């Protein structure tokens, strides 16, 4: 029996599929641990590994430097899969950089900020959204 066939039998799926699922599980655990599990598009928490997607803040396709933007880790964010797929390719990144201490600066496409003031502004925004949702439902 070949090594790949044996691995696939024992895993119940191809070794490549299993390896990709493991990589995504590791990435999701690290994203949560780092506090980066907030959707770049909607600002809500990404709670489920099946909803996690990698997003390029500035679209790389047809840009002046596609490979550069594709591999630039500063151009990477995480989103819900449906938010990423549904997002229109807006030119948000061309707008001026918002002030520190605002959620807009925290999630800004190119220069997202994680200073204490911006993190607090984002946390407050998320708290307010949750409170509004709870009061609307209850």
E strand intervals along the chain: 52-56, 76-80
CA-nearest of 30, 59, 70 to 46 is 30
- Sign of torsion, CA 50 51 52 56? positive
pLDDT of residue 97: 67
Residue 20 lies in a domain: no
Task: Give the C-alpha separation, 36 to 109, whole Å.
Answer: 14
Residue 105 lies in a domain: yes
Residue 126 lies in a domain: yes
pLDDT of residue 89: 47
Is the pTM above the cut of 0.75?
Answer: no
pLDDT of residue 47: 95
pLDDT of residue 121: 86
Q: How far apart are the first and last CA of the chain?
A: 60
Task: Give the C-alpha separation, 97 to 92, whole Å.
Answer: 10
As for how many domains the chain has, the answer is 1
pLDDT of residue 61: 82
Count the alpha carbons within 13 Å of 26 in the hemisphere toward its beta carbon: 6
Residue 57 lies in a domain: no
Residue 39 lies in a domain: no
Q: Give the phi and the psi of residue 45 in degrees, each rounded to 5.
A: -70, 140
pLDDT, tens digit only, all 138 positions of the chain: 788 899 999 999 999 999 999 999 999 999 999 999 999 988 999 999 999 999 998 888 888 898 999 999 999 999 999 888 876 545 444 456 677 788 777 776 555 788 888 888 888 888 887 787 677 766
Residue 42 lies in a domain: no
- Domain enclosing residue 114, as ranges: 98-138
């Amino acid at each position: 029996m070949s090594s790949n066939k044996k691995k696939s039998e024992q895993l119940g799926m191809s070794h490549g599929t299993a390896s990709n699922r493991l990589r995504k599980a590791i990435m999701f655990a690290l994203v949560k641990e780092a506090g980066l599990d907030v959707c770049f598009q909607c600002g809500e928490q990404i709670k489920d590994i099946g909803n996690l997607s990698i997003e390029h803040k500035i679209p790389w396709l047809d840009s002046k430097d596609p490979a550069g933007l594709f591999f630039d880790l500063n151009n990477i964010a995480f989103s819900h899969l449906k938010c990423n797929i549904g997002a229109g390719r807006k030119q948000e990144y061309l707008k001026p950089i918002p002030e520190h201490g605002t959620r807009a600066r925290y999630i800004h496409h190119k220069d997202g900020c994680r200073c204490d003031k911006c993190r607090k502004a984002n946390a407050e925004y998320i708290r307010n959204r949750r409170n509004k949702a709870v009061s609307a439902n209850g």
